[in-house]
A and B are shown apart, each in its own frame.
Chain A
């Protein structure tokens, strides 16, 4: 990791065999492994495209996603108005451009996916770490709490809480963040139990390191890989949950543009304007598919057992 880039490039040239990654820079190493996997390439391309869209959306959006135009309501895909403006994916019930709204909706999906997973991941990893490391009665209590929470299906729990607390983008992010940790807790605890018995942990104790130091310096880094894989899965789950909640009217409220809200509009005019339902759903599916692919690849990459075989 401390190797200078020039030196590592030289190193890469010197070694003819591609499978000697130890002397390349980690970024280059990661890239070369990534390029070998079609799933990994597809996943990272989709995810970077959606993230990019979320950032530069307003710059490339063909129309204003909030601009209403009564005269072009419910126009089908490919509609061209008298000024020659093209509405490639059609218009909704207020004459707003669906393509521009899909671009604008990417922002909420990325925001919700990233921020709530950061919150839930942090809580879940710390919870699992404490549970597995401390053990004993505390571990039993903490795990029974997780069992209880897990027996209420995630989306139902989230629906109930957001029904009580109220809707809105930031509230929703917090709710998803403060409920999503449950998934991590059990897995991380299991990993901690495994790592806890490793020789290097025992060695760290023998060298006189404090329990806190062992927990954060020796155990935590070794369970991070599992947490990252889980986080990738959770981003997909969270994006789907946000769209479900917004669709049900319990999530983000208009005028914020989200794919779930667009589907809720589409449902009302399902008899006449199929394009209002089709395209936002495709946007969600592709985004989640990208995240799932990336997660699959990360799992294979970070799991040394699978990695050797690939």
Chain B
């Protein structure tokens, strides 16, 4: 068990190292990063000064080392625009993003798991057809378009919910529903196939033949085992959720990390973009780490491997 944690930690460090290299070089794809932020009226000398100030005159390897050693202590440098530490800006927004992601994941699971089970139990029935069709439709739909349509129906026509920002508690309903539905569409499909697989297993047949109640067989014997693949898929879909949240936060002007990223990218505020990218990667990696732990709890067999 301890060996598992240690090896996973080592893997995490290596992954983060690669992420840091990627993040560092992405922002140098445009060539000289200083020309991007320097105002047009600056003279050669002033640009040279600015380059020195931000450390862009050093060799690229040194710049990277500098970036990483500072990033480890949480120092990404100041935002070019806000003139405040990039980390501070990221932390201000992080909470909003987490709340939104958690709400969306909760909505997604609440819809997807019962529907996926129902779909598997009534395989090839009319209900199954309706559920799987809805799930395909939800997967094919751009999440930001669903968000726009929800705004048209609930805010513009019915006047029930606020369109923009996070000023009131009910502001979260539309963005969370938008992401939650997309998540549900992806998850219910997987729940269905995981459940179908389990329902064919010998132990389910045994439980049935023992004369156990239908409900007990489904909930205690089948679902418990189907949870393992469902949890895996949930972890994979979190990448979709984080990515989708960037666009959806923009649609609803939700003040999360995603919106900060988009705003910073459009004004080329590179330190904030770097900090944001690393945080997205870190959250994704940590959540998947947590999922591995849940895995062990759900499936005692893994412990002995």
Contacts and interface: CB of A to CB of B under 8 A. Distances in A.
B285 A285 contact: no
9 contacts: A148-B281, A152-B280, A153-B240, A157-B26, A250-B266, A263-B145, A278-B149, A288-B140, A291-B140
Contacts of B251: 267
Given A152-B277, A248-B250, A284-B145, 14 more contacts: A147-B15, A152-B22, A153-B246, A155-B246, A156-B280, A159-B265, A243-B142, A250-B265, A277-B148, A277-B152, A284-B141, A285-B145, A286-B140, A292-B140
Contacts of B284: 151-153
A292 B136 contact: yes
Contacts of A145: 18
Contacts of B273: 160, 163
A161 interface: yes
B151 interface: yes
Given A155-B246, A160-B261, A164-B27, A149 B18 contact: yes
Contacts of A292: 136, 139-140
Contacts of A293: 136
Contacts of B11: 147
Nearest to B278: A152
Interface residues of A, number: 46
A105 to B, nearest CB: 13
A181 interface: no
A156 B265 contact: no
A151 B247 contact: no
A150 B236 CA distance: 10
A151 B266 CA distance: 23
Interface residues of B, number: 49
A299 to B, nearest CB: 12
B141 A159 contact: no
B266 A247 contact: no
B152 A270 contact: yes
Chain A interface mostly: helix
Contact of A263 (B27, B144, B244): B144
A266 interface: yes
Interface in B239-289: 239-240, 242-244, 246-247, 250-251, 258, 261-262, 265-266, 268, 273, 277, 280-281, 284-285
Nearest to B251: A267
A193 B145 CA distance: 40
A281 B141 contact: yes
Contact of B142 (A157, A161, A284): A284
Contacts of A289: 136-137, 140
Chain B interface mostly: helix
Interface string B142-178: 1011101101100010000000000000000000000
Interface string A156-193: 11011101111000000000000000000000000000
Given A281-B149, A285-B140, A292-B140, A160 B277 contact: yes
A153 B242 contact: yes
Contacts of A128: none
B14 interface: yes
B14 to A, nearest CB: 5
Interface string A236-254: 1000100110011110000
A144 interface: yes
Interface-central residue, B16, B18, B148, by most chain A CB under 10 Å: B148
Contacts of A149: 18, 22
Contacts of A263: 142, 144-145, 148
List the 10 closest pairs (A to B, CB-CB), nearest first.
Answer: A148-B18, A163-B265, A153-B243, A281-B145, A155-B243, A288-B140, A289-B140, A151-B281, A153-B239, A153-B242
Interface-central residue, A163, A240, A263, by most chain B CB under 10 Å: A163
Contact of B144 (A154, A247, A278): A247
Interface of A: 144-145, 147-157, 159-161, 163-166, 236, 240, 243-244, 247-250, 263, 266-267, 270-271, 274, 277-278, 280-281, 284-286, 288-289, 291-293
Contacts of A266: 148
B150 to A, nearest CB: 11
A160 B11 CA distance: 25
A165 B148 contact: no
Contacts of B258: 156
A260 to B, nearest CB: 8
Nearest to B152: A274
A266 B16 CA distance: 39
B19 interface: yes
A248 B142 contact: no
B239 A154 contact: yes
A277 B18 CA distance: 40
Contact of B26 (A155, A164, A244, A250): A164
B82 interface: no
A156 B23 CA distance: 11
A160 B261 CA distance: 8
B244 A155 contact: yes
B30 interface: yes
Contacts of A163: 265-266, 268, 273
A5 to B, nearest CB: 36
B277 to A, nearest CB: 6
A236 B145 contact: no
A91 B118 CA distance: 43
